[in-house]
Chains A and B, each alone.
Chain A
Amino acid sequence: MTTRWFGARVQRVEDDRLLRGYGRFTDDIDEGALESCLVRSPYAHARIRSIDVTAARAMPGVIAVYTAAELPFGQTDLPILIPHPNLTHGRTQRCLASEVVRYVGEAVAFVVAESRGLAEDAAEMVEVDYERLPVVITPESAARAEHLVHDDVPGNVAAEMIQEAGAVQAALAASPRRKRLHFRFERGAACPMEARAVWARWSTSERRLTVYDSTQSPTSIRGGLAVLFGLPESSVEVIAPDVGGGFGPKIMLFYPDELLVPFAAMQLGRPVKWTEDRQEHFTAVNQERGQVHEVEVGFDDEGKLLALDVDFVHDAGAYTPYGIILPIITAGQVPGPYRVPNYRVRFRDVYTNATPTSPYRGAGRPHACFVMERTLDAIAAELGLDRAEVRRRNLIQPDQFPYEVGVAWQDGNAVVYDSGNYPVLLEKALANLGPRPVGDHVGMGLGMYVEGTGVGPYEGAHVQVLVSGKVVAATGIPSQGQAHATVWAQIVADELGVDVADVEVTGGDTRRFPWGVGTFASRGAVTAGNAMAVAAGMVAEKARQIAADHLEVDPADLELVGGKVQVKGSPDRGIALAAVAVLANPVRYAFGGGTEAATQFTARPRPGPPLHEGEQPGLEATGYYSPPASTWAAGCHACYVRVDPQTFRLEILRYVVVHDCGRVINPLVVEGQIEGGVAQGIGGAFYERLHYDSEGQLRNASFMEFLMPYATEIPAIEIDHIETPSPLNPLGVKGAGEAGVIPVGAVLASAIEEAMGVPITEMPLSPLKLFEYFTSPPSGEGGSR
């Protein structure tokens, strides 16, 4: 394999059509589709006495109104996606609620009409008689079981899990110093710029269901629809076209619309589409981040960690469709890049009357990082030590890999760091940060993190050289902006010795590649990237065999370079890859494109049948990659901030990132991921707050009041890389998608704490929150939520 493309700053091949306005997002697809609207619960907890759709059905332009009663799957609980033995009281919603609603935004009825406007008009005419029930809204009140979200779930506890590595009680008892700390993380929202959308068409004559879905996992959606509608998977095709940002919540399945839109299309014999509006997105789409941690740490006079005991409550929301992956990730990631000789972690996953939670970029890691980094800062403060020095004394050293933490990981394996060099990350970040700016109310922030990436089970790829010499490559996972079409092309181009521009990539289209899992958890480069290398490598091997027969040389003497298969070092002794593609498919009927060279009366290079036993026609291959374990990326962020002592406005004076995701396929893309991640982290740490009131109403469900940062709030980010290749996969890569966001809350808290001289123990902050901190120290639960 040459390395012409891998590692280069290749500009993206997907840009041109997106820049010209020719992207194809789900709502761009029309084809005469009926439009639809969901009737959603206005209450956080209520019993449904009755639903009357008579008036809605009589409205002009209304084609159908569905409630649970009209659905063959109306009484079926939606699946728990990732069951776990500790999830003893898992609960999922039904497609449409008919008995009890448990969060504002839960779907109750579905209206299909000639236009979205008419559907919305009719939705307003659906009369639902609700009997309101008591609301549980904070994780603390849920844990106290003041009221129950589900009658049959005692204490509101969906799951409890305790893990211990070492002997924490004994180690704490023996520690020269002990400290108790309390940390609180509120809910956050991913808010991709494209809200969700689904379009579906049923072909009665072909008995084929076609669904476009702004999902991160079309293969899983296809599997689910096939089961639900009793169709073979080959009769269901699911396409994630251009997807306008994902960040996690677009991989929940199923949202009710993902079943209702295909169902209605099959019932009505016409295409049906549904496009979410921004207001409903705020409560209908899964959220994340809510956790409350009680920590006890034991350490010595040098600042060395001796024992860490973490007990936290995770806010599941009203249901647990995603299982307990989030708290498992948090539990696994608290120790971070540090040696924690004795670690115990207990969590309880509790129900609240709010939107369910599932992974949002970072997925349990920002909380874990916040807990560890804030704890280290507290140790530094108590001992009067430099914060960097405390970290230095506790970091896992480069010769300690593979490093086993002693707790479970989200893929069912144990947490084992595969490779890394954490001290270099720290020292580089400190060096790059430079001297402290002059002035008052300036603070320095520092945070380190690890990130388990590239979880399995597997991804696959299909690579084919066409008779034109162009290459097509496909994988099951879709892109939401991560430049898959470019980076997969780089990997394939290197294996086949062709230009990146000659490789056309399709992702997230089950018609092109039906198997796979999805785009999430910083796993694409590891799983699909290696699958691309495997498949392209198989194609290269096949090309060498065919060319070797043709050239009468040993395949081992051949290389693929410049669009040719040639004898190493002899460019004049070769055959074009296009010609090899022709020869790979013996034909009776030439169909142009040079295929006459593979017909039956042309000279054949070897005796026997045109295809020997075990051979397959076409210069193509399908390959898979299944990681043995997660790869562990890592990094260090540092910053200087200034806080205005009057207005509590935050000014980020400098922000540096040193990042290690193993071998970098395309620095342009990785830097984009980090810059975007840091911005999302800043938003989540200081601007964005989901303001739930005590009745479970989200009071700021609009971009007017949920303050996502504009360019004016986001500073320049200085990025540096180190590369410790992963020993676990052939490409040596690790994931990079979530790295930017993970430590930002911890870093800003550290900086603001120093700038203002008040302890920061919760997220998100805001000017108002800082004012409150400054005038009255934190008391625990804080605010309305």
Chain B
Amino acid sequence: MKVNGVVHPTPADPRRLLSDHLRHDLGLTGTHVGCEHGVCGCCTVLLDGAPVRSCLLLAVQAEGHEVTTIEGLASDAAPLHPVQQAFHECHGLQCGFCTPGFVMSVVGLLEQHPNPTPEQIDEGIAGNLCRCTGYASIRRAVHRAAELSKVPSPVRGAFSESEHPRASAQGESEGEGLKPV
């Protein structure tokens, strides 16, 4: 499987969850595990561009697929991805535990709805639980992320098009969300 643009061997242990594989085998601990039964959304990653719960997938099921985790949104030296930037500006996180899952869900949401209505926002984040913020600031962050995503700005320069894992691997419409709309 390809994770954040890098090919990794699939783990031998057939009962290894994708979430545990990412965290404990690959050291990508930004993907968090909050319930292990697919309700809280903390473990959300993109599988071939679409948000999925990595605690409900076995790692072997991701073989041949492309996984993007929170670490893959913006390289270390680059500015934050527009969704990350918007969460920062709007105080859309407190403890930060649910945050990577929310960010990945919102990346998926904005790909589907670049100009989301309030109802689409609520529905788009209704698969993620947050116990700190009361969601108000997260809603504001989604609005702000939609604004930031419309403007070609330095914040979207995390990866050049050719090196962005999703753009390079797919060359299809899934990569669109990270380009100027």
Contacts and interface: CB of A to CB of B under 8 A. Distances in A.
Interface residues of B, number: 55
A247 B70 contact: no
B97 A19 contact: no
B36 interface: yes
A676 B76 CA distance: 30
Interface in A587-642: none
Contact of A711 (B28, B69, B70, B139): B139
Interface stretch (A315-323, A478-486, A726-734): A478-486
Given A20-B74, A21-B71, A677 B28 contact: no
Contacts of B130: 193
Contacts of A242: 95-97
B149 interface: no
B129 interface: yes
B47 to A, nearest CB: 17
Nearest to A243: B95
Contacts of B37: 278, 702-704
Contacts of A479: 95
A278 B91 contact: no
Contact of A20 (B42, B76, B89, B138): B76
Interface stretch (A25-33, A156-164, A222-230, A553-561): A25-33
Main SS at interface, chain A = loop
B36 A672 contact: no
Q: Which of A30, A193, A479, A704 has the most CB of B within 10 A?
A: A193
B136 interface: yes
B134 A481 contact: no
Given A21-B30, A245-B132, A717-B136, A193 B36 contact: no
A51 interface: no
A192 B29 contact: no
Contact of A677 (B32, B80, B87, B134): B134
A680 B131 contact: yes
B137 interface: yes
A680 B74 CA distance: 32
Main SS at interface, chain B = loop
B18 to A, nearest CB: 15
Interface stretch (A9-17, A205-213, A527-535): A9-17
B96 A712 contact: no
Contacts of A680: 131, 134
B95 A480 contact: yes
Interface string B30-74: 111111110110100000000000000000000000000111011
Contacts of A128: none
Contact of A19 (B29, B87, B136): B87
Contacts of A278: 34-37, 40
Nearest to A486: B91
Contacts of A717: 134, 136
Interface in A645-698: 668-669, 671-672, 675-680
B93 to A, nearest CB: 6
Contacts of B71: 20-22
B108 interface: no
B94 A20 contact: no
Contact of A481 (B84, B87, B95): B95
A781 interface: no
Interface string B113-140: 0000000011101111111111111110
Nearest to B103: A19
A192 B94 contact: no
A309 B89 CA distance: 49
B69 A21 contact: yes
A669 B129 contact: no
A708 interface: yes
B80 A193 contact: no
B165 interface: no
Contacts of A679: 133-135
Interface of A: 11-12, 14-16, 18-25, 27-28, 30, 117, 190-195, 242-245, 247, 277-278, 479-483, 668-669, 671-672, 675-680, 702-704, 708, 710-712, 714, 716-717, 740
Given A22-B30, A192-B95, 6 more contacts: A19-B87, A483-B94, A669-B91, A678-B134, A702-B39, A711-B121
